[in-house]
Amino acid sequence: MSADLNPIEKAKYVSARRAVDYVEDGMRVGLGTGSTAAWMVRCLAEMVRNDGLNITGVATSTRTAELATSLGIKVVDLNEAKWLDVTIDGADEFDDNLTLIKGGGGALLQEKIVATASDKMVVITDPTKHVKTLGAFPLPVEVIPFGWQTTQSLIEKALVDLDVDGRNITLRLNQDASFRTDEGNLILDLHLERLEDAQQVSHVLNQIPGVVENGLFINLCDVVIVGAADGSAIVRDINNGTVTNEQVAVNESDSIFTDVGG
């Protein structure tokens, strides 16, 4: 492992390295978006180059597709793959029920579609993402540009009747312009601070005209891997009801780090 990585990046790398153990030859693999998922893509690419691993990837964003393709992973559209064996992705928050908040990178819609079209979803994180109660991380909501301010007002009204601590909503920006998703939509970040009933919040939000999707991932995650800088990982498998502490066999070669920079 590169000595230049800070502890959080080391933890992300360890979780990614452990997650690729779920990938077997011939699989169709959902490739997540974000800094932790980028480590996973690099780990898979190393296996493709060095071990002859034959996989087909379905990316959850344009930037993931570009990274995977540049590293030699075959990437196809979900319409071509149809169904996936496993998806590996990051998360912005997760609780003990493996309910997630995702969308910090703005790819929540494609991420949720890909995760839903998979036999298994493996989430890779560092220790800072595990929370007792969701909501400290702003909940992303993807909305269409037409009438987005009206949609925001409708969301604000809906939040009054929900069990949340905060109701501030901000439009996500990219420098001085509105952030645009791969589908050309906008993202409203809901600063809820605490949300107790993810199912209710998700249902209410998705009933509002103009809302495309929200960043709550409920009953989608099967396994969460929490990496640590010392090379250990906690693996939570909700289907087996197990929590194991493992030592991850880290490849000491520097080949995986040569493309790090994005």
36 is known to lie in a ligand binding site:
yes
Supply φ then ψ for residue 104, to 5 degrees: -60, -30
Cα–Cα distance for residue pair 90/111, rounded to 1 Å:
10
pLDDT of residue 255 exceeding 90, the answer is no
What pLDDT was estimated at residue 48? 97
Given this model, what pLDDT does residue 250 score? 81
Exposure on the CB side of residue 230, measured as CA atoms within 13 A: 6
CA–CA separation, 166 vs 159, rounded Å?
9
The answer to whether 218 and 198 have CB atoms below 8 angstroms apart is yes
**Residues 216/100, Cβ–Cβ less than 8 Å:** yes
- CA–CA gap between residue 262 and residue 253 (Å, rounded): 20
For the cut 60, the answer to whether the pLDDT of residue 228 exceeds it is yes
The helix/strand/coil state of 205 is helix
Distance CA 29, CA 31 (A): 6
Whether residue 3 has pLDDT greater than 80: no
Looking at residue 4, its pLDDT comes to 78
231 in a known ligand binding site: no
Percent of the chain at pLDDT > 70 equals 94
Flag whether 92 is marked binding.
Answer: yes
Q: Is the pLDDT of residue 257 over 80?
A: no
16 appears as a binding residue in the annotation: no
User: How far is residue 68's CA from residue 56's CA, in Å, rounded to a whole number?
Assistant: 10
Helix ranges (DSSP H) in 52-82? 62-70, 78-81
Give 3 or 218, the one with higher predicted confidence. Answer: 218
Q: What is the mean pLDDT of residues 71-95?
A: 98
Annotated binding-site residue? 30: no
CA 104, 82, 38 angle in degrees (round to 5)? 35
In the structure, what pLDDT confidence band is assigned to residue 258 with cuts at 50, 70 and 90?
low
99 marked as part of a ligand binding site = no
Over residues 31-40, the pLDDT tens digits come to: 999 999 999 9
**154 has pLDDT over 90:** yes
Q: Mean pLDDT, to the nearest integer, of 191-204?
A: 97
Radius of gyration (Cα) for the chain, nearest Å? 18
Is position 60 annotated in a ligand binding site?
A: no
Residue 50, phi then psi, degrees to nearest 5: -90, -30
* Residue 13 exposure: Cα atoms within 13 Å on the Cβ side: 22
Characterize 52-70 residue by residue with b for buried, 16 or more Cβ atoms within 10 angstroms of its Cβ, and e for exposed.
ebebbbbbbbebbbebbee
pLDDT of residue 262: 36
Catalytically active residues are: 111
* Mean local confidence (pLDDT), 105-124: 98
The residue type at 53: L
Instruction: Give the chain's mean pLDDT.
Output: 94
Q: What pLDDT score was predicted for residue 249?
A: 85
SS3 212: strand
Looking at the predicted structure, is the pLDDT value of residue 218 above 50?
Answer: yes
Q: What are phi and psi of 126, to 5 degrees?
A: -110, 170
Annotation-wise, does 72 bind a ligand? Answer: no
Question: How high is the pLDDT of residue 5?
Answer: 85
Domains recognised in the chain with CATH numbers: 7-129+219-249 (3.40.50.1360), 139-211 (3.30.70.260)
Query: Known binder of ligand: residue 103?
Result: yes
Number of Cβ within 10 Å of residue 237's Cβ equals: 15
